[in-house]
Structure 1
Amino acid sequence: MASLATQTDSRPTVRLDRVWRVGKHVAELDGLRGFAILIVTLYRFSKEIPTDSSLGHLMHLGASFGSRGVELFFVLSGFLITGILIDAKDQPHYFRNFIARRSLRIFPLYFATLIALVVAAHFVPAMRTMFHDAIDNQFYLWTYLVNVKMSFADQWCFGYLDHFWSLAVEEHFYLVWPFVLYLISNKVALRTAVGLAIVSATSRIAFVLLSDNGVAPDVLTLFRCDALLIGAAIALIARQPQGLEPLRRWLPVTTIIGGLFVLACGITEKRFFTIPLTIWPIVWGGILIWLLTANRSTPLARFFNLKFLRTLGKYSYAMYVFQNPLIPLTSAVVSVAAFETLVGRPLLANVMYIGVMFVLTYAAAVLSWNVLERHCLQLKRWFPTGASSDVPVVKNNQSTTGTFVPTNAPAN
């Protein structure tokens, strides 16, 4: 009993009916990722919604909410990646396995997309015209420096691959954060994550006040890593003896205040010195904590466990990569103008366009998964990470020890 008490004191105590436990694959997090790609994709294809009617304005406002899905991806990635790194910290080949597994998840689709684009542009003049911005600046695409180029140029200079800036931010995080976690204790890592998140947010706000550059605050890694670090901090707190319960008590207040602030920003269309770029990750972080500490029977957990959302989460990476390039590639057949000619109503035409493009994006992602991604992911078995961990759990007010094996679901 003494030894059990010692174990319980050193690790978070959780209940078996809770959504999350250390080292356990959580289907609801797949659903949360699916929700992120859902709102991002709907936003991507809603740029032409007319706002000359109350319904159109409401639809436009709702769709614009999807632009904040990137922050949700960042928070979720920071949480998942940090958890993977912490759980594998004492295992052999820590760096090799992490880098190999991340590379197998990210690089095949990313570089296959670039290769296909360059080859197609070489042989098909129309492709060269469609993607000339990306082709002319392809060095920065190959080297994950898209956001750096944008920041110094102060413009969105990659055309239909502009959205690759967020992939660059995540890649920079993956290159640095494993070394930071390896060199310091978890306690120091938590302070570091919080401190760096504050530095990121304050430096971005200071930059906005001192500079006329309107792109760098939105895309530069230094200015956007606060969301990733908020997710990292949640992962570190979750592995402390008290876990996330102390934070959960503050969730209603912080989520409501943060939600009202970002809602006001959305309605007034004010940037407020980019403060919403930090408030949104805090709101998403609050929802993540709420989900992780929720019982499986709660409406929140059941919503994110919907098969539809979990399926979208599975294909979210490819959906994100493909959604922008598909706009010019399908424009000869699929466009708002074509649907408006067909139905005669601009608002309905936009709804039809969004629906068709969403289906095409999903279909392309499923094809990519079956042709390329899943075969590359099978190679992960050569680079195991993490080990089974004995985690104290509470069942019927009695402490027992459950063993869980991390599955390390990939984050996008």
Structure 2
Amino acid sequence: MKLTYYKNLDGVRAIAALMVMVFHFFQSIEINTPTLSRLSKISIFGQTGVTLFFVLSGFLITRILIFTKSNTDYFKNFYLRRTLRIFPLYYLFLLIFYYAYPFIFKSEFIPIGQQIFYYTYLQNFAITFNWATDGPGHFWSLAVEEQFYLFWPLVVYLFSNKNLYRIIVGIIAGSFILRIIMLMHNYEVFYFTFTRFDSLAIGALLSLLEIRQIFNKRNANKFLLLTVGILAPTLVLWTFVTGEANNIIQAIKYVLLSFTYFALIGYVLSINAGNFVNTILESKFFAYTGKISYGLYVYHPFAYMLSKRFMYTENWILNMIIGFALTYILAALSYHLYESNFLKLKKYFEYSGKKEMIQKKTTTNIV
């Protein structure tokens, strides 16, 4: 098997980051006009950018694991590379949040006992079960991903691709059933690890389809039709079904949303290199946004708070431009001056077989 780099997926990652940024911006401002009210309602769908991240991550990580499972240093290289990519920025921002925020925003220091769940990637458990904790609220998704990748490399290592299909189906079914059970007992299912694993597993399914060479121009329109076909009921449920509605419908929304992004990524992987969609996704703006997307995700609430405190205007459009610009500046500085120093160390833990990889629709990085 040869591992293909897809440059256009950097653009998909950029879109996911921008969706979340738009969502949180409208959640952070006062809604005082009919126009803002309508935009705020539309922006809620930007929250699903996290699900897009999950599906994309499930695909990118699983294809790497499948490709390298025969390597001697399979586990060591995966976990060390993952650590170098995620931990430095994650823990840096926790220090900023817990020890710089109070000075900047004149707030009280958060007790160490309420910080511990964030240091140990258990914040989403704490949020779900109402344990006493306080920290960057958007970090719940990072916990879900890291918890998934604690066991997923072992699953890929131990089981054949044929059995991975069965395991993925089991994860999807299990997450769905658990969501229903937890909703029946009035627990939040949005943040909890085991009620969100299906999004990552659905992304993993894409990697198995790639092995079967499903992604080609003959199947591009099929994936596009599938995207539209799933998106329509998903939008209806997401827009009109509230937390008070039927628990089964609430639970199924997450499956539909994940498969919508599954089909969308399948379409992007299948289209010709010269397709106008690729022209957009591979443009310099989207390529760079995808490159620093981790920083954009981490820093954007902080940037919004800074801009609101020190650069606030009476014009929400100008405030949005300032907030986004500051987010890009922080993420770019972080990437080039801090994160890149750790990323350079990944060369010591290269995946063997890398010379056999080919470039089809090149991408800058695979996780």
**Does residue 58 of structure 1 match 2:42?**
no
Cα root mean square deviation, aligned? 2.7
- Corresponding position of 1:362: 328
The match for 1:304 among 244, 259, 281 is: 281
Give 2:158's aligned residue: 183
- Listed as ranges, the matches of 1:329-348 within 5 Å are 329-335=306-312, 339-340=313-314
1:96 counterpart residue number: 76
The residue number in structure 2 matching 1:41 is: 21
Question: Which structure would you say has the larger Rg?
Answer: 1
Aligned match of 1:278: 255
Q: Count residues with an aligned counterpart.
A: 361
| CA 242–27 in structure 1, closer or farther in 2 if over 3 Å, else same | closer
Alpha carbons 1:151, 1:220 under 8 Å: kept: yes
Moved more, 373-382 or 38-47: 38-47
Q: 1:243 to 1:360 in 2, by over 3 A?
A: closer
Residue 106 of structure 1 is matched in structure 2 by 86
Name the CA shift for 1:120/1:158 in 2 (closer, same or farther; >3 Å). same
* Pairing partner for 2:347 from 378, 381, 386: 381
In the superposition, the TM-score normalised over structure 1's length comes to 0.80
Cα contact 1:244–1:289 (8 A) shared by 2: no
CA contact 2:307–2:319 (8 Å) conserved in 1: no
Unaligned runs of 5+ residues in structure 1 are 1-10, 12-21, 341-348, 392-401
Q: Which runs of 4+ in 1 moved over 6 A?
A: 244-247
1:67 to 13, 37, 47: 47
Any residues of structure 2 matched to 1:320-335 within 5 Å, and which?
320-335=297-312
CA distance in 2, matches of 1:245, 1:403: 17
Equivalent in the alignment of 1:203: 178
Report the residue type matching 1:192 in the other structure.
Answer: I
The AA in structure 2 aligned to 1:105 is R
- Give yes or no for contact 1:120–1:127 (8 Å, CA) kept in 2: no
Q: Deviations over 1:268-291 (max 9, x none)?
A: 253532322221111111000001
Match of 2:211 in 1: 239
Cα displacement string for residues 325-357 of structure 1 (whole angstroms, at most 9, x for unaligned residues): 33334432134xxx22xxxxxxxx222211111
Question: Out of 107, 112, 132, which is 2:110 matched to?
Answer: 132
Q: Report what 1:265 is aligned to.
A: 237
User: In structure 2, do the counterparts of structure 1 residues 407 and 389 end up closer, same or farther at CA, with 3 Å as the change threshold?
Assistant: farther
SS in 2 for 1:65: helix
Q: Which blocks of at least 5 consecutive residues in structure 2 are unaligned?
A: 244-248
Displacement of 1:263: 1.8
Partner of 1:5: none
Give the TM-score normalised by the residue count of structure 2. Answer: 0.89
Distance 1:241 1:187, change over 3 A: farther
Greater shift, 235-244 or 310-319, is seen at: 235-244
> Quick one: percent identity of the two aligned structures?
31
Q: Distance in 1 between matches of 2:31 and 2:192?
A: 32
How far apart, CA to CA, are the structure 2 residues paired with 1:270 and 1:108? Answer: 38
Task: Answer yes or no: is the 8 Å Cα contact 2:303–2:327 preserved in 1.
Answer: yes
Deviation of residue 56 (structure 1)? 3.1
Structure 1's 354 and 126: CA in aligned 2 closer, same or farther, altered over 3 A?
Answer: closer
